[in-house]
Structures are given as C-alpha cells and as structure tokens.
Amino acid sequence: MRFSRGRKFPAAPEALLYTVAVTSCLFCRIIAGSIPSTAVFQDDKCYAIADLRPQAPVHVLVMPRAHIVSLAECEASHSDLLGHLLWTAAEIARTKNLARGYRIVINTGEDGGQTVDHLHIHLIGGRAMTWPPG
Ligand code: ZN
C-alpha cells in the first residue's frame, strides 16, 4: 500500500482501459489523471481523494478504479473488491487518527443521495456524528 501526503501519482495503466467508454465520468477522469487530483491512497484496485466539499474535518472518498455505477449495480463477482474498499477506508481512518470513531457512507441511487454515478465510499470523521442521518 502507498500512502501519500500531497504527492501526485500517475494513473495506473489499467485505469486507461476505462477511459474510452466512460470519459464523461468525473471519477474515471480523476483516476485516469485527466483531471488533476492528489491521492490520499491508491493501489491497483482503488483510488482515494479528499472530498472537495468536506462535511467533517476528515472526508475522504474511496473509489474502485473500475467503473461501477453504484452499489446497486454490484454482482457477486464484486464482493472481494467491495471488501477491499472497506478495508482501505479503515486503513485510511487509522492514518487520519480517527480512533474515536468515524462514519462510512455509501450513497446509492437518487434517493440515496448519490451525486456521481461511480461507486464510492465516504469516510467521514473528526467530529461527533448525529443519528438519524439526513
Ligand atoms: Zn467512472
């Protein structure tokens, strides 16, 4: 695993496989490097960035490199990847000193508040959360 603080990484070659079909996808363009970003974490399966509109002191988005529209689109073949995304979020939380806790959110579909149609996990922490969520 590779963590970085402010360092930009080149896109992994496999990300290029998706750029032709989904150039309109904001997150695919970020992952491919056509939109500059600073990776909080990346490996061969996922890419994580700070949310541009943070809702808490720590707000990181963890997304698969592969273009998957949403959690609702996932199939059994995605189960290992989904586990990896969650594990990655927990690893990032450890590096962000979120020992008091944090929240993991996967907005799914229109009613779920999903605003980018590329599966992503929100890691939100650094303040006490409320329940129920809005
Ligand atoms: Zn995408």
In DSSP notation, 86-129 reads HHHHHHHHHHTT-TT-EEEE---TTTTT--SSS--EEEEESS--
Q: Could you confirm whether domain 2-125 is CATH 3.40.50.300?
A: no
Residues 44-49 have a mean pLDDT of 98
pLDDT at 19: 47
Distances (CA, A) of 124 to 22, 25, 44, 96: 27, 23, 23, 11
Catalytic site residue 122?
A: no
Q: Which amino acid is at 14?
A: E
The bridge status of strand 102-105 relative to strand 46-50 is: unpaired
The 8-class DSSP code of residue 74 comes to -
What percent of the chain lies above the pLDDT cut of 90?
81
Mean per-residue pLDDT over the chain, rounded: 89
Residues 13-42 have a mean pLDDT of 80
Cα of 20 to ligand 1 centre, how many Å? 11
Q: For residue range 69-82, what is the model confidence (pLDDT) as tens digits? A: 999 999 999 999 99
* Domain assignments of the chain as residue spans, ordered by start: 2-125
Distances (CA, A) of 26 to 5, 32, 99, 110, 118: 22, 10, 32, 17, 8
Cα of 26 to ligand 1 centre, how many Å? 6
